[in-house]
Structure 1
Amino acid sequence: MTSERLPPYNPLRFDWERGARTGVHECVFCDGKSAEQIRHILATAQARGAQLLLTRLSAEALEALGGEFELDYCALSRTAILGGLPAAGEPSEDIALVCAGTSDLPVIEEARRTLAFHGIDAPVYADVGVAGLWRLMSVAEELSRFRVLIVVAGMEGALFSAIAGLVPGLVIAVPAPVGYGVSERGSAALNSALASCAPGIVTVNIGNGFGAAAAARKVVAAYHPEISHRVD
């Protein structure tokens, strides 16, 4: 018999002050956590009246919580928000989200909801992969207006270099865990992002939409120190 109960010591040391200290709140990576651990974190946050972002929360884990908490859940990105998203404001003029194909949307949504949780409503430019280069060129002028572009692509990851060669903004490359053969689980896209000869690309780990959004949030804060932190 196995038990999901917490061990007889406190395994959780949540960083409630991270948002005020760094501008990016500590969020809950749920993969690998038991339902009881997630429940304990949510109960603690709820008692504090704090909003909380959860990532990689599976539908099974959500069901195991038994509807005890009011969570804004997105099945596509496997993210949930305790306390709800802030009201949508004007679309950001600093950050845009771009993806090569619809298979990349789970990563895009993780990044988009992370930004929304931090008060940034970033527009999405979807399905502009280089297999139909006209799709990218049709939005290239619009993309050139943004300071930061979070770009998600799988397969060969050619979109990273293509965009970085067209726009003045910083490109944050997120290899998507899609593809097969040599491209399986984003490995080729990761190597493409790291090996790109187009200047102005930085790369996060495969599928790390959250990390890309956190980095973009920090870049924008350098331009706009007045951007408010979400206070727990």
Structure 2
Amino acid sequence: MNQNDLTKILSLVAKGSLSVEDAKSQLKNISFENIDFAQIDHHRSLRKGFPEVIFGQGKTSGQIIEIMEKIIIHEDIVLVTRLEKEKAQKISSKIQGTQYFEDAKLMWFKKNEPKITGFGQILVITAGTSDIPVAKEALLTAHAMGNEVKSIFDVGVAGIHRLFAHQEQIMTAAVIIVVAGMEGALPSVVAGMVKAPVIAVPTSIGYGTSFGGMTALLGMLNSCSSNIAVVNIDNGFGAGFMASSINHVSVA
């Protein structure tokens, strides 16, 4: 349930168009709903401005379907992350209106196209083509949350002139997400160019001593650029969510 739904119910009660008992019935699951294997947080939209997101990894397609069906009753959008293609196909056969993005391993159900409510543009940059799946997860998450999102792919430090060719676009972004594996140097370079907050996303891309993204993670955490924040390895969703949160903060 979102703020508009709550306002509508309270307004109807105030006008006498909705009885208190009917309002109580509609609001009984406003906090959370226990369905045995999951306790669905229907209150999250009111607290955080976006519904609970379903983490698909480790859940069966049947569990995801049941959770989605419960959330859809109350929300205009449902997001599922870390979702394999086989599960996505089973879900799509049961719930009409879903869309699956195989490269990002992300699915959404939308009743309406998200309204742009963010104050500026979010820019997603990758060091390499191999980083794009994680970047797509960030991009789609930020878009679903009501942001204008653009992308620049494959502009890593091995050919830094490619990055500088996009300098004007980089300088005008409100929030920048930089996704990189290997040694993870690109976020520091980008952060040194701009005053905007930069969210660094280390990926597990790289050879042996990249240690599944640990080298990139540690490099980003030790960046000398002061406007960098770092999320977990391959956590495109977390980067997109944080970028949206920043982009929705009103400056008084």
User: TM range, normalised to the smaller chain?
Assistant: 0.7 to 0.9
Residue in structure 2 matched with residue 118 of structure 1 by the alignment: 145
- Contact kept? 1:55, 1:80, Cα under 8 Å: yes
- More displaced 10-residue stretch of structure 1: 171-180 or 78-87: 78-87
- Contact kept? 1:24, 1:214, Cα under 8 Å: no
- Contact kept? 1:94, 1:148, Cα under 8 Å: yes
1:22 aligns with 2:48: yes
Amino acid at match of 1:14: I
CA drift at 1:21:
1.1
1:134 aligns with 2:158: no
- Contact kept? 2:51, 2:77, Cα under 8 Å: no
CA drift at 1:47:
3.6
**Identical aligned pairs, as a percentage?**
36
Of 73, 83, 102, the match for 1:75:
102
Q: How many residues align?
A: 217
Q: Alpha carbons of 1:207 and 1:85: their partners in 2 closer, same or farther (altered >3 Å)?
A: farther
- Contact kept? 1:129, 1:159, Cα under 8 Å: yes
More helix as a share of residues: 2
Residue in structure 1 matched with residue 202 of structure 2 by the alignment: 175
Amino acid at match of 2:86: E
Q: Distance in 2 between matches of 1:120 and 1:81?
A: 16
TM-score by length of 2: 0.79
1:196 aligns with 2:223: yes
1:52 is paired with a residue of what secondary structure?
Answer: strand
Larger RCO: 1 or 2 (CA < 8 Å, sep 6+) = 1
1:61 aligns with 2:111: no
CA drift at 1:187:
1.4
1:46 aligns with 2:72: yes
2:120 is paired with a residue of what secondary structure?
Answer: coil
Q: Distance in 2 between matches of 1:193 and 1:136?
A: 18
Q: Distance in 2 between matches of 1:165 and 1:49?
A: 40
TM-score by length of 1: 0.86
- Contact kept? 1:54, 1:81, Cα under 8 Å: yes
Amino acid at match of 2:190: I
Give structure 1 stretches of 5+ with no counterpart.
1-8, 226-232
2:134 is paired with a residue of what secondary structure?
Answer: helix
1:146 aligns with 2:176: no
1:223 is paired with a residue of what secondary structure?
Answer: coil
CA drift at 1:45:
2.5
